[in-house]
């Protein structure tokens, strides 16, 4: 019998929080709970000032959940943040004179991952590519610039608010060897960001220049879909190594992808290549291969443009489960054929000195 979400929540209600004295369910330290096919995954978000008591509690919680019928695996990620540090101010700096593209100190290369329309899996590609590059030994950063739909905190299993000791420098988060910053860490998961263009541009510029990225071989930037203020600001403020365009083979998706390609051409940003996502689906029951969104459209477009087709990523349930669970497929199932596709792209970029 498969374990249920209610059975796991009942354990949370039965275990006391070592700091507040209430249950850990009432204390609200459990985030991003996923119960799927016998696997239980969640994040424990605790205060950095009280991290030690929770380390022992983590083992207790894991043992209690593993004792439930139907539990095959338990994955708990514990993150600690300093509640004394105020969140950084991401309002635009007024009165600054505009300047041309600048090299970000300490960052050797910047790769933008973009799409013409939403829903093609751009953020999934960005997170897996970042983890794949980190697995190849590169020093990798991931900037979630999809300000209206920031999903990288969930995909990388990161929560908590980044600290800002001096109110100016922002300390990024880290997981799976990837240094990450997202506007999603500054707001609640279900809170909308209702900002106009100038605020978006100011926030992006601060996340580029005021985050303590350290020394990076490459910074992956997960852009929002479309051709708006964020894309233009990035190209105008930072020296981009190039852009990767993600699309499904569907004609409608390719129609919008062409607009994104034209935008980067107008901005003078080199195109590194294209990735066809959700390329094919193989039935787990019978092995039948089906092209749900068509096939080969991205390859034809790349050939017409004279740029490489970097990969054809399948439509696979494990990729979705991994992203929703906070550990991309490259991390959760590194030996799978799905992970191999991302690792191949990472090695190709490294071989071409693009990452």
pLDDT digits (tens, 9 = 90+) for 51-105: 677 888 888 999 999 999 888 888 887 776 544 444 455 555 544 444 567 788 8
Residue 10: give the domain boundaries: 5-81
In a domain, 249, yes or no: yes
In a domain, 285, yes or no: yes
Nearest CA-CA partner of 248 in 68, 125, 338, 334: 125
Structural element, H or E, at residue 302: helix 297-305
Q: What are phi and psi of 203, to 5 degrees?
A: -65, -40
Q: How many domains does the chain have?
A: 2
* Cα atoms found within 13 Å of the Cα of residue 61, Cβ hemisphere only: 32
pLDDT of residue 295: 75
In a domain, 22, yes or no: yes
In a domain, 102, yes or no: no
In a domain, 86, yes or no: no
Same domain membership, residue 204 and residue 164: yes
Q: Give whole-number Cα distances, 4 to 33, 226, 317, in Å.
A: 12, 39, 20
| Least confident among 47-56, 193-202, 238-247 | 193-202
Q: What is the pLDDT of residues 223-237, one digit of tens each?
A: 988 777 788 888 888
pTM: 0.69
In a domain, 111, yes or no: yes
For 317, residues 6+ apart whose C-beta sits below 8 A from its C-beta are 284
In a domain, 60, yes or no: yes
Please, what is the angle between helix 297-305 and helix 251-267, to 10°?
30
Same domain membership, residue 231 and residue 188: yes
- Which two structure tokens, joined as six digits, stand for 234? 């990035």
Same domain membership, residue 302 and residue 200: yes
């Amino acid at each position: 019998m498969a374990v249920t979400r209610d059975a796991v929540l009942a354990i949370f209600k039965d275990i006391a929080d070592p700091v507040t004295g209430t249950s850990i369910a009432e204390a609200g330290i459990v985030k991003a709970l996923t119960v799927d096919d016998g696997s239980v995954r969640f994040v424990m978000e605790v205060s950095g000032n009280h991290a030690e008591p929770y380390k022992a509690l983590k083992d207790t919680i894991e043992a209690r959940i593993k004792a439930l019928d139907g539990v095959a695996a338990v994955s708990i990620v514990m993150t600690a943040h300093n509640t004394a540090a105020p969140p950084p101010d991401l309002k635009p700096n007024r009165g600054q004179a505009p300047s041309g593209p600048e090299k970000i100190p300490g960052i050797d290369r910047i790769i933008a991952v973009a799409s013409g329309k939403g829903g093609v899996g751009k953020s999934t590609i960005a997170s897996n590519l970042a983890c794949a590059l980190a697995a190849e030994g590169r020093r990798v950063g991931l900037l979630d610039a999809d300000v209206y739909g920031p999903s990288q905190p969930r995909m990388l299993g990161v929560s908590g608010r980044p600290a800002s000791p001096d109110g100016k420098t922002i300390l990024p988060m880290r997981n799976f060897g990837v240094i990450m910053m997202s506007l999603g860490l500054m707001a609640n998961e279900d809170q909308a960001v209702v900002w106009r263009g100038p605020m978006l541009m100011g926030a992006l510029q601060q996340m580029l220049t005021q985050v303590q990225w350290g020394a990076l071989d490459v910074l992956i930037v997960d852009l929002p879909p479309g051709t708006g203020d964020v894309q233009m600001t990035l190209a105008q403020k930072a020296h981009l190594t190039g852009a990767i365009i993600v699309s499904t083979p569907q004609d409608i998706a390719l129609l919008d992808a062409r607009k994104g390609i034209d935008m980067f051409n107008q901005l003078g940003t080199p195109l590194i290549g294209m990735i066809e996502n959700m390329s094919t689906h193989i039935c787990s029951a019978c092995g039948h291969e089906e092209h749900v969104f068509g096939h080969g459209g991205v390859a034809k477009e790349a050939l017409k443009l004279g740029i490489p087709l970097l990969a054809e990523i399948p439509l696979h349930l494990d990729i979705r489960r991994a992203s929703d669970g906070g550990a991309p497929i490259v991390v959760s199932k590194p030996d799978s054929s799905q992970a191999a596709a991302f690792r191949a792209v990472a090695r190709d970029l490294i071989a071409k000195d693009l990452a």
